[in-house]
Chain A
Amino acid sequence: MIKKTLMVLSLAIAMTLGSFGGGIALADEEAVNQGKSVAFNRQKGNCLSCHMMDDGDQPGTQGPPLVAMKLRFPDRENLRSRIYNPLEFNPNTIMPPFGLHNILSDEEIDAIVEYLYTL
């Protein structure tokens, strides 16, 4: 609860700062770092077990390499949905529905999207 309030608060601050320029870069970097650590963590995203991405060691080969994300997924909502509920795009996919099944929190998925856009 407190954590959530803090998150919202820091988001609000970041947004205010952002509107003045400068501050947003900092908040982004934090989200990117968080996103990377959630994506790599085996108990969390464990994306590496199926996707080649970034500097990840020993990636699995079940899914396509996650590269050039901004180019391939210009629509942020679309990219987010592919993580939140990949069943929407392919009801037989083996990729877990990270949001639909609460494997990751909304905040964690947002952070991953932030991170993916750096790839």
Chain B
Amino acid sequence: MLKKYALLLGAVLALAWSSTYASPEDDRMAFENYFTTKFPGVPLNDFKNGIYSVDPVARADWEQIEEFPPYELAVDAGEAEYNKPFANGKSYSDCFGDGAVRGQYPYWDGERKEVITLELAINECRTSNGEKPLKWNKGKIAELSAYMSYISRGQTVDVKIPEDDPEALAAYERGKQFYYTKRGQLNFSCFDCHGTGAGKGVRLEKLSPALGHATHWPVYRSKWGAIGTLHRRFGGCNRQVRAKNFKSQGQEYRELEYFLTYMSNGQEFNGPGARR
């Protein structure tokens, strides 16, 4: 009886929700509004600091850590790698110029009909110059991305969804659906934790708001003891709810990054970051 009622309620809700079209920009404004309403004390430009924007106690520790940033070594290693010529005599600068290009990613490639992320572009730069691709989640690729993010600090997140290409919008919509869909044995959507649950505690650990989630990658995580990429984090959050994670830099996670970064349009790129 109750079950039927709940199902019916769900169907009615879903119908009401889907009956009006929301553009990506409508989505983004509602998203931003959701978090600024939920955290009225947090300035809009502070959400890029993740959990530290809403947890003053953890923030004090973090500010101390940032005095001797744990990602510094990775940035240095990334710089050295960036300037090392490939076997064919060319180098990353032939693909990325001075390397301060964080603000251009992710973007929709209208010819290839797919989302291009910074890490994907780094590996494609390598393979097109006869070098082996790097592993996606950590190590050299994260160091390169850390260096490039570091020298791009202050660029504004400005992801575009070309209006003349319905396939770009479809990719965005798939990323969005992914974000709100419950998965895994524990039955959580990303938004269940980083929206509904944002700012609330899971024991000692609080959950960070999703606004600003894509601004500060890669991240040096104390738990990893190393620097890692955004897709590594996606995989961890999927597995944590006992869902099978998807391939790093596969279609699902790139479209998820496309959606999630779009939601942070207007925020500032401030990577690499340091997190617990």
* Residues of chain A having any CB pair with chain B under 8 Å: 48-50, 58-62, 87-92, 94, 96-97, 101-103
Contact = CB atoms under 8 A, between A and B. Distances in A.
A98 to B, nearest CB: 9
B117 interface: no
Contacts of A102: 185
A49 B6 contact: no
B186 to A, nearest CB: 5
Contacts of A48: 203
B200 A61 contact: yes
Given A60-B201, A62-B200, A96 B187 contact: yes
Residue among B7, B186, B192, B204 with the most chain A CB within 10 A?
Answer: B186
Nearest to A91: B10
A49 B253 CA distance: 28
B39 interface: no
Contacts of B87: none
A48 B205 CA distance: 13
A30 B36 CA distance: 48
A49 B202 contact: yes
12 contacts: A49-B202, A62-B197, A87-B187, A88-B2, A89-B2, A94-B188, A94-B196, A96-B187, A101-B185, A101-B186, A101-B187, A102-B185
Interface residues of B, number: 19
Contacts, number: 46
Interface of B: 2-3, 6-7, 9-10, 185-188, 192-193, 196-197, 200-204
A62 B193 CA distance: 10
Given A60-B203, A88-B3, A94-B193, 10 more contacts: A48-B203, A58-B204, A59-B203, A87-B6, A89-B2, A91-B9, A96-B188, A101-B186, A102-B185, A103-B185
B269 to A, nearest CB: 31
Contacts of A94: 188, 192-193, 196-197
A22 to B, nearest CB: 38
List 3 A-B pairs, minimum CB-CB distance, nearest first: A91-B10, A94-B192, A96-B186
